[in-house]
């Protein structure tokens, strides 16, 4: 069945360091891979996404890489700031526009 594994479940970094979150998926037909950020008490919001026709996408301090052969994709946050502290979810597109979400990574950025 469709499945997404996300690691690590928690991540603690010092302000200014980089953070990397990794996900693997099982459905080789999936062609859309979004990342959502959920701050405490708020709704999940899309921060970046990538489609299978590209290998990397950047938006300021965040970047996502995709390896379709290995079926894994990663989120990279550089120069982390305290406001980056949140839960991050990876996802891949399943049938009928459904998103299969990973279990989430709780990122804490310490000043």
Partner 1 sequence: DAGVIQSPRHEVTEMGQEVTLRCKPISGHNSLFWYRQTMMRGLELLIYFNNNVPIDDSGMPEDRFSAKMPNASFSTLKIQPSEPRDSAVYFCASSSRTGSLNEQFFGPGTRLTVL
- Give the Cα separation of 37 and 34 in Å (integer): 10
CB of 101 to partner 1, least distance (A): 5
- Give the Cα separation of 27 and 77 in Å (integer): 26
CB of 90 to partner 1, least distance (A): 11
Nearer to partner 1, 91 or 109 (CB): 91
CB of 6 to partner 1, least distance (A): 10
Q: Which residues bind partner 1 (CB under 8 A)?
A: 32, 34, 42-46, 49, 51, 89, 93, 96-99, 101, 103-104
CB of 10 to partner 1, least distance (A): 13
Nearer to partner 1, 58 or 98 (CB): 98
Nearer to partner 1, 14 or 96 (CB): 96
Nearer to partner 1, 25 or 89 (CB): 89
Work out the number of other CB atoms within 10 angstroms of the CB of residue 45.
Answer: 10
Q: What is the DSSP string of 19-68?
A: EEEEEEES-TT--EEEEEEE-TTS--EEEEEEETT-SEEEETTEEEEEET
User: CB–CB of 35/88 below 8 Å?
Assistant: yes
């Amino acid at each position: 069945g469709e499945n997404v594994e996300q690691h690590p479940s928690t991540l603690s970094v010092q302000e200014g360091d980089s953070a990397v979150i990794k996900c693997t998926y099982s459905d080789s037909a999936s062609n859309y891979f979004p990342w959502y950020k959920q701050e405490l008490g708020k709704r999940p919001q899309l921060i970046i996404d990538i489609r299978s026709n590209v290998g990397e996408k950047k938006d300021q301090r965040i970047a996502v890489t995709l390896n379709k052969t290995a079926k894994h994709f990663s989120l990279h946050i550089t120069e982390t700031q305290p406001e980056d502290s949140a839960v991050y979810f990876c996802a891949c597109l399943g049938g009928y526009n459904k998103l299969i979400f990973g279990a989430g990574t709780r990122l804490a950025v310490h000043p």
